[in-house]
Chains A and B, each alone.
Chain A
Amino acid sequence: MTDATASGPVRVGERSLLGKLEGSVSWILLGLVGLLLPLLDDSYIGVIAQRAYIYWILSAGLNLVVGYAGQIAIGWVSMLTLGAYTTAALTAGTATDPWHPYLALIAGGVIGAAAGVIVGLPALRLRTFYFAMTTLGFATIVTQVALAWKSVTGGGVGTPGPVFPWPFDPGWGFYYFCFILAALATWMTANIASSRFGRALVAIRDAEVAAEASGIAKPRLLIAVFLFAGALGGVAGGLFASLQSYITPDAFTFEISVLFFIAILIGGRGSILGPALGTIILTALPEFAAPLVQWSTFLYAALLLVIVLVIPGGIADLLDYKNRRPLEQHREIVPRPDLLGRVLGGDGRSRGKSTIALRDIELHFGGVRAIDGLDLEVRSGEVHGLIGPNGSGKTTTLNVISGYYRPNAGQMTLDGAELPFALPHARAGYRISRTFQTPRLVGAASVLENVMIGGTVHGHGTFTESILALPRHRRDERHLKAAALQALATVGLESLAQVRADRLQHSELRFIEIARALMLKPAFLLLDEPAAGLSAEEIRRLGNLIKASSREGVGVLLVEHHADLIFDICDRVTVLNLGKTLAAGTPNEIRSHREVVSAYLGA
């Protein structure tokens, strides 16, 4: 990978450094204000600030759940409740011998983490709205249990909150405690957000199918995130109990939950700074708008509606002036197939030959036979074209190979070994990658980040290493970034690396998808109508790129309508009709196949 830092990457790397500096100015300012706030010697401002820090510690974790992973957890106040009661009860010694308050706070975090997973589990299976409801239900249950379990929680009378001893004793000591933990929470969530895990979360949110194709295992990742967010919520709860001095179940209202949630959305999904500002604003605002105090929830709700309808990107979008700079008007995509060797790694001829084989595959949707006894072989170093009229089963076949559909009958093998049905995220492990008929990209992420998603499985660091930005995490990031820039240079789009993907033209999106697919260093590349919507010149360049990748040893399955492209670059062509093979052979054989000509090519 040493040679990966060729001409292009260095240039882009510099720009991103500048971007980072721009981004951190706000953080430095916020940090300075936080550090110096005690000089005002106004405990009232101190209490409001402590509250904002505590709420932010929770929201920082929730931000990964809501803002990044897109899971609508409305009832996250339950983590605050659990953390608060755990810390308070352990410190008070109502359940066990009294614990040291700092240990009790850690226990609050642990309980929060466990509860985060419990609440999070349904998200793996349930639809969005269902999940929102279960989080609400869980919050209700936690409060009910707090009411009922009198011996430990004090029931409705409540229980005193912990008082942390020196150095973080009540007053400014506790203030700095909250400040430091809030800063830590920010740092850790920012690390995750900028890691391959953060990008994977956003991919799950906005392009779940593509995330699976890139080998992202949603359950494991989401559980890790729920665990982390729950822990932060639990710690926030312990601090909350101390700030409140006394906790009763009625302190944990649905309104607080809504506040957390709305703060994140006002801040903007996929941002850390935005939600942090949102939390500060929503915590402080009611204090300065005392006459409006009974309208506060109404105003939050109104704000939420406006945000959703008018500026879905929230504050973060408003601050993102970088992406409002106009793009160059007449851009050209000039792929550099000569770079393919480096992107795919190593010498093409040194890679072994391998074959995906489909035998007698059948797939029914209700009474419709989408695929009806299909045989197909895709071999390394060959471009295999799959053509046929609409509804003949081309994309369906591709979806069977990439694991989205489970066939009703038949066999699928990779070099003789069984290739399991219906495990889309496992395909990346077999180095089978793909593109989609409609490009599946994360519009809110940069082109570079989108491409880096494709290399998620190549990372070695764990989630915890990313939280703490340990060396392996940094190495992963460095390698992924270099590889992604290389892939972008290969498809001819490296100049757009820092641009938000949703600002690009359709043809550019097609090539970005190919770059993302190349990140896997694929043995097989499944392309679903990659030429749709491209100009003649772009199709020609695409053809060269595909041909070059097959020369590098990649086995390509090309679903396409453009007959010219198929016949130009394919080594083999299969013609489908009504889920069956109508004809198969070399382009020349197909071109002269009578049935095909009359039925499909229309001569």
Chain B
Amino acid sequence: MSIKRRTVLTGSAAGVVSLTSGLAAPAIAQSDPIRIGYLPALTGPSSSTGVGINRGVQLGIDEINAAGGINGRKLELIVRDTQSEPTKAVNAVAELTQRQKVGVIFGPVNSGEALAATPLIARDKVAMLHPCWVDELIDVKKYPMSFRIAPTNTQVGGGANYYVVDVLKLKKVAVISDTTGYGTASVNTYVPMLKAKGVDVVYQGHVDAANPDLKPDMLRMQSAGAQVVMPWSVNAGFLSRILNTRGAMGWDVPVVGQTTLGSGQTKALLEKPENWNKVYSNNFRNCCYVDGKLPPRAQAFVERLKKSKIEMGDTLLWWIALGWDGAQMMAQTFKAAGTKSDEVVAYWNKIKDWPGVYGTVTWTPEQHNGFPDREVVMCEVNSLKDGAFNLAPGYNS
């Protein structure tokens, strides 16, 4: 099976050109739907966040369309499930920017996909709204059209660190993560932050989430005198093992860390319900109960969810809120500024104190991270009700 040299007939190229020109997309009429690129991970190993956010996005879009759309045009989500695989995300970006010619892309949610998708979307000059926390995704020089409607990992870690150091007044800390990108990056970022606050980090490590036994690491933390364990992982199995091991060791130490500590999946994997005591996970002030009540914006949102019969028990309120906020932000922008990428970006650069359910967003041309520090808080995981939690004890509201 040898290969002969290929000869290209010069005439054939012209033929293909005339053929393809007929395939070019017709100009977009004013009544056509506004297309939004959307890259959630709805299947695959880390998809529970994507599924939660997706409920909010779909609800937001449905509500806007039911109310007549934007200037008579419906919103259309072009959804590409990234399946938690970066390769799929790269293919999907090309499809959204080049073939579907969307003006805005929302997502991806997972770090691996977001890191791969962002430079490509920036290269294609499409506006991008990030629900993902990875710090590197926002850089006004490299990616001038990318904006974040969520906190950064640094902010999230800062919120936890603040709680440990300034609220609980603890000085000896153990930081542990799984070996995923999210986990390792978090530890690498948060440990120096803790040290800068004068804390003694007595243990720091990455453990494969598939490792069924965390006792060795927990024992090391304990013998190093840790007063608090800070786990960073989105893996419910991993987090539940930490909590179960803590319970089995009879070690009365607070656990302060990642949001998933409070997820239903983590709860389901606990050996005893008591293992969920003294566990504080990341959350956001707007979505937490204070004295049994949600803040007014969130309360109104929950009514809305209940009316639309959106399931909240198996996910988190802030995930849904984040998706819903994203849809609202895009709709408002289309209405006020237009649907082209540069119109969107120009508008976003001037957003100030935008009142989302999830957070209050402010962007400037120099700062595309829009989430305020003070809204990143910790909550008590064992107070889960309708996807929301009580604000952790100790904050003076």
Residues in A lying within 8 Å of B, measured CB to CB = 20-21, 23-24, 27-28, 31-32, 35-36, 39-44, 46-48, 51, 144, 147-148, 150, 155-158, 160, 170, 186-187, 190-191, 193-194, 243-251, 253, 255-256, 271-273, 286-287, 290, 293-294, 469
B33 sits at the interface (CB 8 A)? no
User: Are B3 and A36 interface neighbours, CB within 8 A?
Assistant: no
User: Are A24 and B98 interface neighbours, CB within 8 A?
Assistant: no
- Nearest-CB distance from B137 to chain A (Å)? 10
Closest A-B pairs by Cβ, 4 of them: A156-B181, A47-B94, A43-B98, A156-B184
User: Are B188 and A150 interface neighbours, CB within 8 A?
Assistant: yes
User: Are A48 and B91 interface neighbours, CB within 8 A?
Assistant: yes
B314 sits at the interface (CB 8 A)? no
Within 8 A of A (CB), among B107-134: 111-112, 115-116, 118-120, 123-124, 134
B71 sits at the interface (CB 8 A)? no
User: Are B115 and A272 interface neighbours, CB within 8 A?
Assistant: no
Q: Please name 7 further chain A to chain B contacts, defined as beta carbons within 8 Å, in addition to the given A21-B4, A250-B84, sorted by A numbering.
A: A36-B12, A43-B99, A190-B1, A246-B118, A247-B86, A293-B88, A294-B43
A248 contact set on B, CB distance < 8 A: 86, 111-112, 115-116, 181
User: Are B91 and A51 interface neighbours, CB within 8 A?
Assistant: yes
Bound Cα distance from A572 to B3, whole angstroms: 52
User: Are B87 and A155 interface neighbours, CB within 8 A?
Assistant: no
A32 contact set on B, CB distance < 8 A: 6, 8, 12
- Nearest-CB distance from B247 to chain A (Å)? 28
Bound Cα distance from A32 to B8, whole angstroms: 7
Bound Cα distance from A160 to B119, whole angstroms: 9
- Nearest-CB distance from B128 to chain A (Å)? 14
User: Are B2 and A190 interface neighbours, CB within 8 A?
Assistant: yes
B185 sits at the interface (CB 8 A)? yes
Q: Identify B119's interface contact among A28, A193, A246, CB under 8 A.
A: A246
Bound Cα distance from A21 to B136, whole angstroms: 53
Known: A35-B8, A36-B12, A293-B83. A250 touches B2 (CB 8 A): no
Q: Identify B1's interface contact among A28, A156, A158, A271, CB under 8 A.
A: A271
Question: Per-residue 0/1 for B10-24: is the Cβ within 8 Å of any A Cβ (1 yes, 0 no)?
Answer: 001100110010010
User: Are B116 and A251 interface neighbours, CB within 8 A?
Assistant: yes
B325 sits at the interface (CB 8 A)? no
User: Are B184 and A39 interface neighbours, CB within 8 A?
Assistant: no
Known: A187-B3, A248-B112. A255 touches B181 (CB 8 A): no
User: Are A44 and B95 interface neighbours, CB within 8 A?
Assistant: yes
User: Are A157 and B6 interface neighbours, CB within 8 A?
Assistant: no
Question: Which residue of chain B is the closest to A251 with respect to CB atoms?
Answer: B86
Question: Which residue of chain B is the closest to A243 with respect to CB atoms?
Answer: B90
User: Are A294 and B1 interface neighbours, CB within 8 A?
Assistant: no
B347 sits at the interface (CB 8 A)? no
A31 contact set on B, CB distance < 8 A: 6
- Nearest-CB distance from A42 to chain B (Å)? 6
Question: Which residue of chain A is the closest to B8 with respect to CB atoms?
Answer: A35
A158 contact set on B, CB distance < 8 A: 112, 115, 181
- Nearest-CB distance from A26 to chain B (Å)? 10
User: Are B43 and A293 interface neighbours, CB within 8 A?
Assistant: yes
User: Are B1 and A157 interface neighbours, CB within 8 A?
Assistant: no
B206 contact set on A, CB distance < 8 A: 147-148
A-B contact pairs, 26 of them (CB 8 A): A36-B16, A39-B16, A40-B20, A41-B20, A42-B99, A43-B94, A44-B94, A44-B95, A148-B179, A148-B206, A155-B184, A157-B134, A157-B184, A158-B112, A244-B87, A245-B116, A246-B115, A246-B118, A248-B116, A250-B84, A250-B112, A251-B87, A251-B112, A251-B116, A290-B81, A293-B83
Bound Cα distance from A182 to B153, whole angstroms: 40
- Nearest-CB distance from B117 to chain A (Å)? 8
User: Are A255 and B85 interface neighbours, CB within 8 A?
Assistant: yes
B208 contact set on A, CB distance < 8 A: 144
Place the interface of chain B in its size category. Answer: 35 or more
Bound Cα distance from A51 to B6, whole angstroms: 22
Known: A28-B4, A32-B8, A51-B87. A156 touches B98 (CB 8 A): no
Most-contacted residue by chain A among B2, B85, B136, B181 (CB, 10 A): B2
B182 sits at the interface (CB 8 A)? yes
Bound Cα distance from A381 to B115, whole angstroms: 75
B184 contact set on A, CB distance < 8 A: 147, 150, 155-157
Bound Cα distance from A287 to B87, whole angstroms: 12
Known: A35-B8, A150-B188, A248-B115. A27 touches B17 (CB 8 A): no
Question: Which residue of chain A is the closest to B81 with respect to CB atoms?
Answer: A293
Most-contacted residue by chain A among B81, B88, B112, B120 (CB, 10 A): B112
Bound Cα distance from A206 to B182, whole angstroms: 47
User: Are B119 and A245 interface neighbours, CB within 8 A?
Assistant: yes
User: Are A39 and B8 interface neighbours, CB within 8 A?
Assistant: no
Question: Which residue of chain A is the closest to B84 with respect to CB atoms?
Answer: A250
Question: Which residue of chain B is the closest to A160 with respect to CB atoms?
Answer: B119
B183 sits at the interface (CB 8 A)? yes
Bound Cα distance from A170 to B3, whole angstroms: 28
User: Are B94 and A46 interface neighbours, CB within 8 A?
Assistant: yes
Known: A191-B2, A248-B115, A250-B112. A156 touches B85 (CB 8 A): no
Question: Which residue of chain A is the closest to B97 with respect to CB atoms?
Answer: A43
Within 8 A of A (CB), among B299-317: none
Most-contacted residue by chain B among A43, A51, A250, A293 (CB, 10 A): A250
B154 sits at the interface (CB 8 A)? no
B180 sits at the interface (CB 8 A)? yes
User: Are A170 and B123 interface neighbours, CB within 8 A?
Assistant: yes
User: Are B183 and A157 interface neighbours, CB within 8 A?
Assistant: no
B17 contact set on A, CB distance < 8 A: 39
A42 contact set on B, CB distance < 8 A: 98-99
- Nearest-CB distance from B14 to chain A (Å)? 9
A245 contact set on B, CB distance < 8 A: 90, 116, 119-120, 123
Bound Cα distance from A230 to B12, whole angstroms: 37
- Nearest-CB distance from A212 to chain B (Å)? 26
User: Are A44 and B99 interface neighbours, CB within 8 A?
Assistant: yes
Question: Which residue of chain A is the closest to B189 with respect to CB atoms?
Answer: A157
Within 8 A of A (CB), among B6-59: 6, 8, 12-13, 16-17, 20, 23, 43-44
A271 contact set on B, CB distance < 8 A: 1
- Nearest-CB distance from A17 to chain B (Å)? 11
Bound Cα distance from A41 to B94, whole angstroms: 12
A251 contact set on B, CB distance < 8 A: 85-87, 112, 116
B3 contact set on A, CB distance < 8 A: 24, 27, 186-187, 190
Bound Cα distance from A246 to B122, whole angstroms: 13
Question: Which residue of chain A is the closest to B179 with respect to CB atoms?
Answer: A147
Bound Cα distance from A255 to B86, whole angstroms: 12
Known: A36-B16, A243-B90, A287-B91. A156 touches B119 (CB 8 A): no
Question: Which residue of chain B is the closest to A27 with respect to CB atoms?
Answer: B3
Known: A40-B20, A44-B98, A190-B2. A244 touches B90 (CB 8 A): yes
Bound Cα distance from A31 to B86, whole angstroms: 29
Q: Identify B85's interface contact among A48, A170, A186, A253, CB under 8 A.
A: A253
B83 contact set on A, CB distance < 8 A: 293-294
- Nearest-CB distance from B217 to chain A (Å)? 16
Bound Cα distance from A251 to B115, whole angstroms: 11
Question: Which residue of chain B is the closest to A186 with respect to CB atoms?
Answer: B3
User: Are A250 and B90 interface neighbours, CB within 8 A?
Assistant: no
